[in-house]
A = this chain, B = another copy of it.
Amino acid sequence: MTDHIRPVPLDKAYRLLNHGPTVLVSSHFDGVDNVMAAAWACALDFAPPKLTVVLDKATRTRELVEASGRFVVQVPTAALLNLTNEVGKRSLAHHPDKLQQAGIGLLRLSGGTLPFVDGCSAWLECALVPEPHNQQTYDLFIGEVVAAWADDRVFRDGHWQFDSAGPEWRSIHHVAGGHFYAIGEAMHARERADE
């Protein structure tokens, strides 16, 4: 179902991550696709949009990112809770059929070899901004967002639509082990008269 996938203007891309969801990180190099879960991903800049993500040295995805210089950060939905938990626990090194076992479908939204996880609510295609000291010392990777998409059933006109989309569209926020929280209700702060 790619009919609902729409480009997101780059100046709105930060909104896809701003509320702190747990994400999936995917990459590809030399015929190998992989997907991992990451709770430690965060917006870093508005224009051009950048983000940070922590990729442990034990992950195969890190190797693919370092080799290809490209990766995708995407926002899984509550419907992908088990899938997200499974790709976060299993390494491709020990489970060569990890993606099939987790039931992951891959799209090639950008037209190249980069894999995008089907069923997510939003996708940020990133070019690695090489920072060897950060990568080696902190496992911290910086990506510049070069393109973004979202499913218009849950993000449109530059805004998340969690209140009107079904509960299966909620972003998920990892705490520890298999424990997550779904994002909840919208709240709007008071506007002061002197502003």
Residues of A within 8 A of B (CB): 15, 18-22, 39-45, 50, 52, 54, 78, 81-82, 84-86, 89, 131, 133-134, 138-140, 142, 158-160, 162, 170, 172-176, 178-192, 195
Contact = CB atoms under 8 A, between A and B. Distances in A.
Given A184-B185, A189-B82, A21 B20 contact: yes
Contacts of A162: 181
A45 B134 CA distance: 13
A195 B19 contact: no
A117 to B, nearest CB: 16
A20 B39 contact: yes
Contacts of A89: 195
A184 B186 contact: no
Contacts of A175: 15, 18-19, 159-160
A42 B156 CA distance: 26
Given A183-B183, A184-B183, A189 B81 contact: yes
